[in-house]
Amino acid sequence: MAETVLKMTDIDKRFPGVHALKKAHLTVERGEVRGLVGENGAGKSTLIKILAGVESKDSGTVEFEGKILNNPSPKDISDLGITFIYQDQYFVPYFDIAQTLWLGSEPCSNFLGQINKRKMYQTCTKLLKETIDFEIDPKTLIKDLGVSERQMIEIARALRSKKVSLVVFDEPTAPLTEHEIQILFNTVKKLKEQKIAVIYISHRLEEIFQICDKVTILRDGENVGDLEVSSITPKEIVKLMVGKTLAEKYAKRKIDRGKTILHVRNLRNKSMASAISLDLHRGEILGLFGLVGAGKTELAEALFGVDHLEGGETIIDERLVDIRSPKQAIANGLAFLPEDRRTKGLILDMTLGENVTLANLKKFCRLGLISGRREKASASSMITALRIKASGPNQLTNLLSGGNQQKTIVARWLVSEAQVFIFDQPTAGIDVGAKREIYGLMENLSQEGAGIILISSELPEILGLSDRILVMYRGRIVAQLDPQKTDQHEILLFAMGGGAYEKSN
C-alpha cells in the first residue's frame, strides 16, 4: 500500500456568521498528485490555510508523516518540508533573482556569517535550470520581471529545499503562458517521480485531468467526492461542485431590452490574451462569468480606459469613441465599480460627499472653486435615494460598512449621469441585506434604460440577474448563454474549459 503523507480528518472551522468547514477531510499519499476543486467559498482556501498554520482549526486532526500536528506555526510547517506556491506573489521588488531565491537561507563563506555571493549566484542559475528549466540572468531585479516570470521564480524558490515532502500549488497557472504551463506540468511530474506529494488547486478542469491522480471535491465546506480522475468525467465533477439547485433566488423583473448602447469590436491590449467583441443593450444586464485568470477584470479595465488599448473600436450610442483614459470613459457615459473598492474605487480619507461628486466636479464648481453647499446637497439626496447608512455627507468613507461603501460608488456614477455601468464583483464582502439593495439598484438602473455589465464569481448571482451570459476562459469569450436555458453545470463547464475538453476527447 502507498504511504500516506498527509491526513486531515474531520476539520471544522467557523468564522463569524460562516461555517467554513464541516468535518472536511483530505488525504494525500507519497508521490501522488491530488487535485482539490470547489466553487468560490467551498472551503478550499480555509483548508489550505489550516494546513499552512495560518488559520487554526476548531476541531479535527492534522497528521503529517505519521505525526499529529497541534497548532503549528507557518515556520513549523516549512521546517517539516511542506511548501506552498500561491497565485498571489510577495517579493521585495528591488532584490534580484538570486537574493530572492535564497532569502533567509543565504550560503555563507565563514563562521562570521558573511554571504558567499559567488556561490549564491552560481547555485541560483543551476537551481533555475534544474527545477523549472528557466534560463535568466540571476542579477535581474524582481521589479523588472513580468507576472509569469515572477511566478516561475516563486516555484523555484519553493523547490530549493531538499527536504520538501509536500508541495501545495494554489491556482499556479493563472498568470502563466501556455509554454510556461507546460514547464510547470513537467515540474509536477518530476516531483511525482521523486515521490514528493502534491496538492493541486485549480479551477481549470483540463489541468486536473492532465496531471492529477485523484481529486477531492468540496461544496459548502463539506467533502462531496474523493475520486480517481480516471473514473470520472468533467460533467460529473461540475455536478458535485455545484449541487442540484440554485442556492439563492432572485426576483428580477423582465425588462424589454432597447437598442444597442455599447458596441465593442476586436478590443485588445497587452494584458488581454485575445481581441474581444461584445454588444450591450439598453435595459440589459449582461453577465460576465469566468474563473481566476479568465481575464474578466482585464476586459473591464480595457473598456474603461485604465490600460492603453492596442486596437479595436468602441461605439457608444452609435458614436465611435476613442477611450484612452478613465477621464475619457467618464465623459462618454461609462461607469466602473472596480473589484477592489477600497483601493481602486474610493478615497477612504475623503468624505462621503467628496467621493460622490468626484467624477463630475465641474458640475459643482464656480470660477474654478468647488461649491461645498452644492456638493453636500447632491450627496444628501443620494444618501436618501440609495438609503446609505451614514451620519451625513461629511462622514469619512473609511467608516462606512462595505455595502454602504459600494453604494457610495454607485451614487458617484448616478451623479455623473452614466449610461453604461460595469460592476466588477459588486457584492463581494457585503452582507445579505446589502446584496439585495445592490440588486435593487441594478434593476432600477436597467429599468431606466442603462446598460449593465455584471462581472461576478457567484453563479447564482449571474444566473439570477443576467439577461444574457458571456463565459470567459483564458482571456477569450467561449460561450454566450441564455440564463433561462442553462444552469450552473453548463456555465462552469465552459468556464473550466470542460466544453473544449469533452469535444476533444
Residues with Cβ within 8 Å of 38's Cβ and at least 6 positions away in sequence, in order, are: 44, 217, 218, 219, 241
Rounded Cα–Cα distance for residues 339 and 88 (Å): 16
Number of Cβ atoms within 10 Å of the Cβ of 433? 9
From 107-121, 214-228, 480-494, the region with the lowest mean pLDDT:
107-121
Q: What is the pLDDT of residues 92-137, one digit of tens each?
A: 888 999 998 888 777 787 666 778 888 888 888 888 887 777 788 9
Contact 32, 213 (CB under 8 A): yes
Q: Which residue has the higher pLDDT, 85 or 421?
A: 421
Instruction: Decide: 395 and 380 in contact? Cβ < 8 Å.
Output: no
First to last CA, the chain: 32
Listed residue (66, 83, 87) closest to 74, CA to CA: 83
Residues 269, 273, 275, 281: is their CA dihedral positive or negative? Answer: negative
Confidence category of residue 245, pLDDT binned at 50, 70, 90? very low
**Residue 147 DSSP SS3:** helix
Q: How far apart are CA 420 and CA 283, in angstroms?
A: 10
- Greater model confidence, 112 or 501: 112
> d(Cα 88, Cα 171) in Å, to the nearest integer?
9
HEC per residue, 433-467 = HHHHHHHHHHHHHHHCCCEEEEECCCHHHHHHHCC
Q: Which of 41-55, 185-199, 311-325, 425-439 has the lowest mean pLDDT?
A: 425-439
User: What strands, in cross-sheet order, belong to the sheet with 476-481?
Assistant: 334-337, 420-424, 451-455, 285-289, 468-473, 476-481
DSSP label at residue 82: E
In the chain the domains, ranked by start, together with CATH numbers, are 4-242 (3.40.50.300), 257-333+419-505 (3.40.50.300), 347-417 (no CATH)
Tens digit of pLDDT for each residue in 347-388?
888 888 888 888 777 777 777 777 777 878 888 888 888 888
Residue 240 has pLDDT above 80, yes or no: yes
Condensed to tens digits (0 to 9), the pLDDT of residues 326-337 reads 889 988 999 898
In which residue are the cell numbers 440564463 written?
483
Look up residue 24 and give its three cell numbers: 472536511
Dihedral sign for Cα 110, 114, 117, 123, please. positive
352-362 per-residue burial string, b: 16 or more CB within 10 A, e: under 16 = bbbbbbbbbee
Q: Is the pLDDT of residue 174 over 80?
A: no
Report the distance separating Cα 340 and Cα 129, nearest Å: 37
